[in-house]
């Protein structure tokens, strides 16, 4: 069985020891290494333990042999593009996070830094978390099935204020929103 434990671990910037310590109960880095390389069988119990440690769904750890995965083959650094030390599978960001479902805002007309055709991927939060989302782009539901989108710049009680992405537009104030979703990823075709 081909697994992508190593690829996910590297993409998250974790060491074997980090993953071993995050397992419940903790295990050794050597055990994680053996599971990564296939020297030890990856049972369902181990899949669940490692998936929880990596904060991904267990099925994300496996990959189909019939489909060639996308690979990280180069790194763009200060001195330009260089070959990756060793090619690793590029695990989609939607598979790496388990912080709840994604919400997507499709951009139909260019507005500020957002271009027509962009997709803004967001994660939903409660209004109580608004304080830590200041100066971030958020989507907020409004009455009547409408939404407001912009940079969160003020919160006072159950009232929040947003600056729209286009310059020269007035702030948007939303009273008592049930939730807000913060932009975490921009998908743009080149």
pLDDT, tens digit, 9 for 90 and up, residues 165-183: 988 889 999 999 999 999 9
Q: Are 69 and 11 in contact (CB under 8 A)?
A: no
Write the CATH number for 156.
Answer: 2.10.109.10
Domain count, the chain: 2
* CA 183 – CA 147 distance, rounded (Å): 14
Task: Give the pLDDT confidence of 4-54 residue by residue, as tens digits.
Answer: 898 888 888 899 999 999 999 999 999 999 999 889 988 999 999 999 999
- Domain with 125 in it: 102-187
148 and 67 in a common domain: no
Q: Are 16 and 32 in contact (CB under 8 A)?
A: yes
Measured in degrees and rounded to the nearest 5, phi and psi for residue 94 equal -65, -20
Q: Distances in Å between the alpha carbon of 57 and those of 53, 83, 176? A: 10, 30, 34
174 and 121 in a common domain: yes
Q: Which one of 39, 64, 95 terminates a domain?
A: 95
More confident of the two residues 93 and 82: 82
Q: Which one of 44, 68, 95 terminates a domain?
A: 95
128 and 82 in a common domain: no
* CA 51 – CA 161 distance, rounded (Å): 38
* CA 93 – CA 165 distance, rounded (Å): 25
* Predicted local confidence at residue 96, as pLDDT: 62
61 and 133 in a common domain: no
- Tell the burial category of 178 from Cβ atoms under 10 Å away from its Cβ (0-12, 13-18, 19+): exposed
107 and 88 in a common domain: no
């Amino acid at each position: 069985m081909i697994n992508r434990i190593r690829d996910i671990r590297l993409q998250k910037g974790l060491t074997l020891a980090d993953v071993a310590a995050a397992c419940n109960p903790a295990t050794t880095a050597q055990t994680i290494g053996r599971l990564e390389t296939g020297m030890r069988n990856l049972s369902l119990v181990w899949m669940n333990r490692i998936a929880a440690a990596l904060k991904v769904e267990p099925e994300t750890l496996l990959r189909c042999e019939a489909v060639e995965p996308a690979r990280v083959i180069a790194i763009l650094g200060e001195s330009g593009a260089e070959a990756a030390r060793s090619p690793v599978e590029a695990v989609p960001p939607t598979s790496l996070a388990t912080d709840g479902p994604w919400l997507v805002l499709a951009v139909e007309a260019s507005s500020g830094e957002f271009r027509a055709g962009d997709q803004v991927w967001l994660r939903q939060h409660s209004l109580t978390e608004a304080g830590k989302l200041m100066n971030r782009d958020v989507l907020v539901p409004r009455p009547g099935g409408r939404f407001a989108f912009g940079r969160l710049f003020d919160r006072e009680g159950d009232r929040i204020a947003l600056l729209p992405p286009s310059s020269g537009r007035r702030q948007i104030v939303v009273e008592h929103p049930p939730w807000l979703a913060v932009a975490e990823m921009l998908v743009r075709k080149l």
